[in-house]
Protein backbone atom coordinates (compact mmCIF):
# COMPACT_ATOMS: atom_id res chain seq x y z
CA UNK A 1 0.00 0.00 0.00
CA UNK A 2 1.19 3.50 -0.84
CA UNK A 3 -0.70 5.06 2.10
CA UNK A 4 -0.14 4.45 5.80
CA UNK A 5 -2.73 5.95 8.14
CA UNK A 6 -1.60 7.11 11.58
CA UNK A 7 -3.27 8.40 14.75
CA UNK A 8 -0.57 10.05 16.91
CA UNK A 9 -1.12 9.36 20.61
CA UNK A 10 -0.97 13.11 21.30
CA UNK A 11 -3.99 13.84 19.07
CA UNK A 12 -7.60 12.76 19.57
CA UNK A 13 -8.70 9.52 17.93
CA UNK A 14 -11.62 10.14 15.57
CA UNK A 15 -13.85 7.23 14.56
CA UNK A 16 -14.34 8.12 10.90
CA UNK A 17 -10.82 9.19 9.90
CA UNK A 18 -7.16 9.14 10.89
CA UNK A 19 -5.18 12.26 11.73
CA UNK A 20 -2.25 11.61 9.37
CA UNK A 21 -1.56 9.80 6.14
CA UNK A 22 1.96 9.01 4.96
CA UNK A 23 2.29 8.54 1.21
CA UNK A 24 5.06 6.46 -0.31
CA UNK A 25 3.64 5.91 -3.80
CA UNK A 26 4.78 7.45 -7.03
CA UNK A 27 1.55 8.49 -8.79
CA UNK A 28 -0.85 11.18 -7.56
CA UNK A 29 -4.57 11.00 -8.31
CA UNK A 30 -6.67 14.12 -7.84
CA UNK A 31 -10.43 13.52 -7.87
CA UNK A 32 -12.55 16.59 -8.59
CA UNK A 33 -15.23 17.42 -6.07
CA UNK A 34 -18.01 14.87 -6.51
CA UNK A 35 -21.62 15.87 -5.97
CA UNK A 36 -24.72 13.67 -5.75
CA UNK A 37 -25.15 13.06 -9.47
CA UNK A 38 -25.90 9.70 -11.01
CA UNK A 39 -24.30 8.65 -14.30
CA UNK A 40 -26.91 10.63 -16.24
CA UNK A 41 -26.31 13.87 -14.31
CA UNK A 42 -29.52 13.67 -12.27
CA UNK A 43 -29.28 14.67 -8.62
CA UNK A 44 -29.69 11.75 -6.20
CA UNK A 45 -31.41 12.40 -2.86
CA UNK A 46 -32.58 15.96 -3.35
CA UNK A 47 -33.06 17.47 0.12
CA UNK A 48 -31.57 14.36 1.82
CA UNK A 49 -28.07 14.99 3.18
CA UNK A 50 -27.35 11.32 4.04
CA UNK A 51 -28.37 10.14 0.55
CA UNK A 52 -26.25 12.83 -1.09
CA UNK A 53 -23.20 12.02 1.06
CA UNK A 54 -23.61 8.36 0.11
CA UNK A 55 -23.76 9.20 -3.62
CA UNK A 56 -20.77 11.54 -3.37
CA UNK A 57 -18.61 8.84 -1.79
CA UNK A 58 -19.80 6.28 -4.36
CA UNK A 59 -18.86 8.75 -7.10
CA UNK A 60 -15.42 9.26 -5.54
CA UNK A 61 -15.01 5.46 -5.54
CA UNK A 62 -15.95 5.35 -9.24
CA UNK A 63 -13.48 8.12 -10.07
CA UNK A 64 -10.72 6.39 -8.10
CA UNK A 65 -11.38 3.10 -9.93
CA UNK A 66 -10.96 4.91 -13.26
CA UNK A 67 -7.43 5.76 -12.12
CA UNK A 68 -6.72 2.22 -10.86
CA UNK A 69 -7.01 3.43 -7.27
CA UNK A 70 -9.26 2.67 -4.29
CA UNK A 71 -10.16 4.33 -1.00
CA UNK A 72 -7.14 2.52 0.46
CA UNK A 73 -5.00 4.84 -1.70
CA UNK A 74 -6.67 8.06 -0.53
CA UNK A 75 -4.31 10.38 1.32
CA UNK A 76 -6.80 13.20 1.95
CA UNK A 77 -10.53 13.92 1.67
CA UNK A 78 -12.22 17.32 1.70
CA UNK A 79 -15.95 17.42 2.40
CA UNK A 80 -17.91 20.62 1.69
CA UNK A 81 -21.41 20.84 3.22
CA UNK A 82 -23.89 23.62 2.51
CA UNK A 83 -24.98 25.52 5.64
CA UNK A 84 -23.09 23.14 7.93
CA UNK A 85 -24.11 22.95 11.57
CA UNK A 86 -22.95 20.28 14.05
CA UNK A 87 -26.47 18.83 14.31
CA UNK A 88 -26.00 17.55 10.73
CA UNK A 89 -23.16 15.23 11.81
CA UNK A 90 -25.41 12.13 12.27
CA UNK A 91 -26.66 12.49 8.67
CA UNK A 92 -23.12 12.91 7.37
CA UNK A 93 -21.96 9.83 9.26
CA UNK A 94 -24.99 7.85 8.08
CA UNK A 95 -24.20 8.69 4.46
CA UNK A 96 -20.56 7.70 4.88
CA UNK A 97 -21.57 4.41 6.52
CA UNK A 98 -24.04 3.62 3.73
CA UNK A 99 -21.43 4.36 1.07
CA UNK A 100 -18.86 2.25 2.92
CA UNK A 101 -21.29 -0.66 2.99
CA UNK A 102 -22.07 -0.30 -0.73
CA UNK A 103 -18.40 -0.03 -1.65
CA UNK A 104 -17.12 -2.61 0.81
CA UNK A 105 -14.55 -0.16 2.19
CA UNK A 106 -13.95 2.07 5.18
CA UNK A 107 -12.97 5.58 4.04
CA UNK A 108 -10.55 6.53 6.83
CA UNK A 109 -8.12 8.99 5.25
CA UNK A 110 -7.55 12.32 6.97
CA UNK A 111 -10.52 14.54 6.20
CA UNK A 112 -11.41 18.20 6.38
CA UNK A 113 -15.07 19.17 6.81
CA UNK A 114 -15.91 22.64 5.53
CA UNK A 115 -19.19 24.49 5.78
CA UNK A 116 -19.96 26.47 2.64
CA UNK A 117 -22.68 28.91 1.63
CA UNK A 118 -23.50 27.16 -1.64
CA UNK A 119 -22.25 24.67 -4.22
CA UNK A 120 -22.64 24.51 -8.01
CA UNK A 121 -26.41 23.96 -7.94
CA UNK A 122 -28.98 24.75 -5.22
CA UNK A 123 -30.05 21.09 -4.88
CA UNK A 124 -26.50 19.93 -4.08
CA UNK A 125 -25.92 19.76 -0.33
CA UNK A 126 -22.44 18.21 -0.26
CA UNK A 127 -19.32 17.81 -2.37
CA UNK A 128 -16.43 15.43 -1.68
CA UNK A 129 -12.97 15.63 -3.23
CA UNK A 130 -10.06 13.22 -2.81
CA UNK A 131 -6.34 13.03 -3.31
CA UNK A 132 -4.84 9.56 -3.67
CA UNK A 133 -1.33 8.18 -4.03
CA UNK A 134 -0.66 4.88 -5.74
CA UNK A 135 2.44 2.83 -6.47
Please state at what angle helix 89-103 crosses helix 49-66, rounded to 10 degrees: 40
pLDDT tens, position by position, 40-75: 999 999 999 999 999 999 999 999 999 999 999 999
H/E element, 130: strand 126-134
Closest CA to 125 of 59, 41, 64, 34: 34
In this predicted structure, the answer to whether residue 1 has a pLDDT above a threshold of 80 is no
Question: How far apart, in whole angstroms, are the C-alpha atoms of residue 133 and residue 82?
Answer: 28
Does residue 132 carry a pLDDT above 90? Answer: yes
Tens-place pLDDT, residues 77-124:
999 999 999 999 999 999 999 999 999 998 899 999 999 999 999 999
Decide if pLDDT at 15 tops 90.
Answer: no
Give the burial class of 71: count Cβ atoms within 10 A of its Cβ; 0-12 exposed, 13-18 middle, 19 or more buried. buried
pTM: 0.93
Amino acid sequence: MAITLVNPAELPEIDVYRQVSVASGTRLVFVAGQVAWDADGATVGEGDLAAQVEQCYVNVGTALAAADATFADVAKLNVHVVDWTPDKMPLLLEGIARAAARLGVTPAAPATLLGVAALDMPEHLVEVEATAVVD
